[in-house]
Structures are given as C-alpha cells and as structure tokens.
Amino acid sequence: MRVTVRLFARLREIVGVNELTREIPIDSTVIVVWDELAREFPELVAYQDSISTAVNTEYARMDAALMEGDEIAFLPPVSGG
C-alpha cells in the first residue's frame, strides 16, 4: 500500500526533501516506515528515541497501524523560547 511521509526540521535536512511516498506492506505500522527510512538515511537513527509521530495529523505511537493513503509525519524535538 502507498503512504505519504512528511519530515520536519532536522529530519527534512537529513533526507533532503519534506515529503516522500513509500510503498509498504499491508498491515504495516509507523515503525515499519521509520525503519525503512533509517536504513536509507542512517543519520535518522540518532533521532528515533526523541521524535514525535503523527498519522493523518493526529499524534500516534510507533505501533500505530497504517492504511492505504495515510500520511505519516515525523517531528524531531524542538527547543526555543
């Protein structure tokens, strides 16, 4: 099935684009998408324990199930004041 992946801030800089389309197996979860990206872009691994994720604009856990056409967002921690 096909999903859209959105990347923000430092994650976008690492990958070089803010949006990707990926084909993933049926019954995949968010972690499946993240693991695929981390294999392709090893610098992402450093962020795995600190990122937030969202599916279709709703915060989600890494074990959230995905469906055809979903949009997954990966958001690194931000700081500032």
What pLDDT score does 79 carry? Answer: 61
Beta bridge partners of 72: 5, 55
Ranges of H-type helices in the chain: 9-15, 30-40
Average pLDDT over every residue of 74-80? 80
d(CA 38, CA 32): 10
- Residue-level pLDDT at 78: 75
- State residue 77's pLDDT score: 85
pLDDT (tens digit per residue) in 5-57: 999 999 999 999 999 999 999 999 999 999 999 999 999 999 999 999 999 99
Per-residue tokens: 64: 């959230």
pLDDT of residue 55: 98
pTM of the complete model = 0.92
Cα 63 from Cα 18, distance rounded (Å): 23
